[in-house]
Structure 1
């Protein structure tokens, strides 16, 4: 049996099982260069053929900006002509507990003849994982996802934000007004195959955080998209609105989507270690690689105008380039193992990450930067246990600590000057990514920051 025959047969089996469960359609999702989920939904009966040939989508999704406008400034995508095929990943088909008439699957974009398409973001992470495996590495990735939960608009005022819970921060009391919603998220997540670590009221009014257990990178990226769909469906069912935006409003708390990673070789976590840091030079080199590439990495993991507005000193957002052990102001926070959790629990948390990042590109860039540090046997500077934002400029300069890029132009400069991170995306995809970033920046240039945040509040 050929691969095409196998895909068609698997599609036929899935279609029959889903139809028997009352599923009407399968939503095939991907994330664009703004981190915004896009999709096509097909009748369940068509799944056998869609599993083989996919469904057609325009090439121009690669150059949609955050406002759904199309920029024709990217080489190779300068006309309205062109089509690619969106192929569902059948091993990830999930019936949605919160939308029982629908199933969900991540998709890959391929050329009309089924070949690789340079602008497909999921393929970038697939190649990165394959390269790591060739070098003897694997990785574990876990997400912490913060979001705001709000009441529906009052008196047709779409800009009014009414927190669905008033706090206090981290209190069980805060979740009482939204306990039905939280319960639905937990039940639906389990039914959808998402293993949650915890869910709680976060620091800001209306803010909630959920964590997803660590898994392999591709699964982690897919699950990040699935988690969004799960949360939004639960909110819709309970008459609530959810904002995943990096900063829903200047007066509120920012939403970081922190990425926890660990690099493994021969069954060993290279980051294993206690409060003093990784016990081996390879784990320290992984941190050094991330730190070296952090300005360019942040241009991929926190790329939007909202991301830059969130990047404020003193807000646990990681505004300066340094690392620390359990330092929540550090953009790179080493989380040590312990006698209770085991040394293999150790990982590095990237705080400069949010919903406006394409998860596949973010993980590909992050893992590539860390692995390069290991291969080059880099050594990081000493960890910092304080908040450099409280230091004088000359103190930060003496410690070699600089502020991360704060404008789109600075992020682009950092990305263009870094062949490792730019090379992960590839020339064509990088061109589309930067064209979208420029389009967003140009649109926002003459507007107040609050107006931009309001326009993008519900996009992600």
Structure 2
């Protein structure tokens, strides 16, 4: 999408930032593991970099979660090649927690400036454009769970959590109130609107809820919020971890993805004649997500620790079903209420975490939703229980199945779904699958705790 920022505007912006003490501008993007990568340029180069970009290797598309490079994808099977990283210049933010630096999301383009098929941001923009052509507008917001630990190791050399509990208690915030105060102020100053921030269920676990926005903004702000959290934690002698699992027995961290869609400004998830106020299109949107859940979660919860996190009874969602305000459901429908109004209705995708690229996660969610609407799908009855307590025969009768529980099952679900394949495109899909295979090979034969530890600080 074109940027309405001129060279003169950017020169003026660079001068203004320099007067505020900014010396560098960090251009950030997320790779196929959900890991943020970046390049930083001197502030006075902003205008020229916005025009010509910064050179980066094509191989970032096939980095795995451990900074290994896989050559398993034929399209990127050699060390040769360069692309350009272009800042999305109308989204530059001086970082409140790192005032010497500004931050901006980047898009990856081919060396000649044309579209590059491995750019995750472009995949999302294509789906947003498809929806707009149909008169549909999506909104999205992230709930980001993370844990805090001290920078110094605990007894025995392991991670020393900031505080063990109690869950949801104000004391858990009291012990890190300096961090919490700085974080909320920095997020405000960085332009990230927050709905709420609180202590979560796990030890030293916290959750930040970002206000809904258009999908591209939501994905960008997820990256910016992540950087803001890291900086605020560091300023207070803490370390923030977003990994899907912290221990093999713990609840882990999810980054739940809330979405809704509207036509002509009217939320299609409320005000209809269907159950719980769903319109026909709103119900089809939900049914499209349900139909493609195994393939969707191969993108939204793609890492080896993700698969171990998706267990019954942990509110992380392990089965393919939807429910109304059911926190065990993979798709948790949040209906409109008289108190909150029609615009509040949304669907929460719970099997989603930090190992997902946020732009790709939203791209496949939108693609599956649009396919559900195009096919006129109708969802089954919602489930208000935990199906893990049912017999296998009852689950089969209700067409409720476990989400992929192994890398092989995950790969089969991803590669076997034409709708998700089309959303990614064959080149990006091939690179993504190659990275997942590399992660699987790395984890093969390793104890779970070793795998978890290796992912703790990757995001």
TM-score, scaled relative to structure 1: 0.97
- Contact 1:320–1:404 (CA under 8 A) maintained in structure 2: yes
In the alignment, structure 1 residue 362 sits paired with structure 2 residue 357: no
Per the alignment, residue 425 of structure 1 pairs with 424
Q: In 1, distance between residues paired with 2:154 and 2:393?
A: 52
List alignment gaps of at least 5 residues for structure 2.
Answer: none
SS across alignment from 1:361: helix
CA deviation string 1:341-363 (max 9, x = no partner): 01221000000100000000000
Tell me which residue corresponds to 2:242.
244
Segment drifting more, 429-438 vs 170-179: 170-179
Which residue is equivalent to 2:201? Answer: 203
Q: Is the 8 A contact 1:75 1:428 kept in 2?
A: no
The alpha-carbon deviation at position 253 of structure 1 amounts to 2.2
Contact 1:29 1:38 in 2 (8 A): yes
Distance 1:174 1:374, change over 3 A: same
**Distance in 2 of aligned mates of 1:22 and 1:234:** 19
1:452 aligns with 2:459: no
The answer as to 2:333 corresponding to 1:334 is yes
Q: Secondary structure at the match of 1:17?
A: helix
2:309 is matched with 310
Task: Provide the residue aligned with 2:187 in structure 1.
Answer: 189
Instruction: Kindly indicate whether the alpha-carbon contact (under 8 Å) linking 2:154 and 2:160 is maintained by their aligned counterparts in 1.
Output: no
The Cα of 1:10 is off from its aligned counterpart by 2.6
Alpha-carbon deviation of 1:391?
A: 1.2
Shift of 1:273: 5.0
Q: Give the 3 Å change call, closer, same or farther, for CA 155–318 of structure 1 in structure 2.
A: closer
d(CA) in 1 for partners of 2:318, 2:394: 16
Cα distance in 1 for residues equivalent to 2:455 and 2:184: 27
Q: Any idea what SS the aligned residue of 2:371 has?
A: helix
Deviation per residue, 1:370-404 (Å, 9 max, x gap):
12111211000000000001111111111110000
Q: How far 1:8 moved relative to its partner?
A: 2.3
Instruction: Return the offset for 1:111.
Output: 0.9
Contact 2:5/2:90 (CA < 8 Å) preserved in 1?
no
- For 2:116 and 2:252, the matched residues in 1 are separated by 34
Instruction: Decide which moves more: 426-435 or 386-395.
Output: 386-395
Using the size of structure 2 for normalisation, the TM-score is 0.97
Q: 1:407 to 1:155 in 2, by over 3 A?
A: closer
Indicate the residue corresponding to 1:143 in structure 2: 142
Once the two structures are superposed, the pairs formed by residues 56-135 of structure 1 within 5 Å of their partners are: 56-135=55-134
Distance between the aligned counterparts of 1:103 and 1:165, measured in 2?
A: 32
8 A Cα contact 1:138 1:264, kept in partner:
yes
1:289-328 correspondence to structure 2 within 5 Å? 289-328=288-327
Describe how 1:162-173 pairs up with structure 2 within 5 A. 162-173=160-171
Is the Cα contact below 8 Å between 1:311 and 1:319 reproduced in 2? Answer: yes
Q: Deviation of residue 166 (structure 1)? A: 2.1
Distance 1:33 1:335, change over 3 A: same
CA drift of 1:4 comes to 10
SS at match of 1:87: strand
- SS in structure 1 of the partner of residue 212 of structure 2: strand
Shift of 1:224: 0.2
Asked if 2 retains the 8 angstrom alpha-carbon contact of 1:96 and 1:192, the reply is: yes
- The C-alpha deviation readout for 1:385-435, integer Å capped at 9, x for no partner, is 000011111111111100000011111101111100011000000000000
The unaligned stretches of length 5 or more in structure 1 are none
Query: Hey, which bits of structure 1, 4+ residues long, moved more than 4 A?
Result: 3-6, 155-158, 273-276
* Residue 180 (str. 1) matches residue 170 (str. 2): no
- How far apart are residue 155 of structure 1 and its match? 6.7
**Residue 156 (structure 1) shift:** 9.2
2:442 — aligned with what?
443
Count of matched residue pairs: 457
CA distance in 2, matches of 1:6, 1:403: 48
C-alpha distance in 2, partners of 1:287/1:296?
Answer: 15
Point out the more displaced range, 53-62 or 246-255.
246-255
Select 1:272's aligned residue among 259, 270, 273.
270
* Cα distance, 1:276 vs structure 2: 4.4
Looking at structure 2, the residues matched to 109 and 4 of structure 1 have their Cα atoms a distance apart, in angstroms, of 14
**Partner of residue 392, structure 2:** 393
Q: Does 1:407 align with 2:406?
A: yes
Assess if the C-alpha contact under 8 Å between 1:151 and 1:163 holds in 2. Answer: yes
Q: 2:256 aligns with which of 255, 258, 263?
A: 258
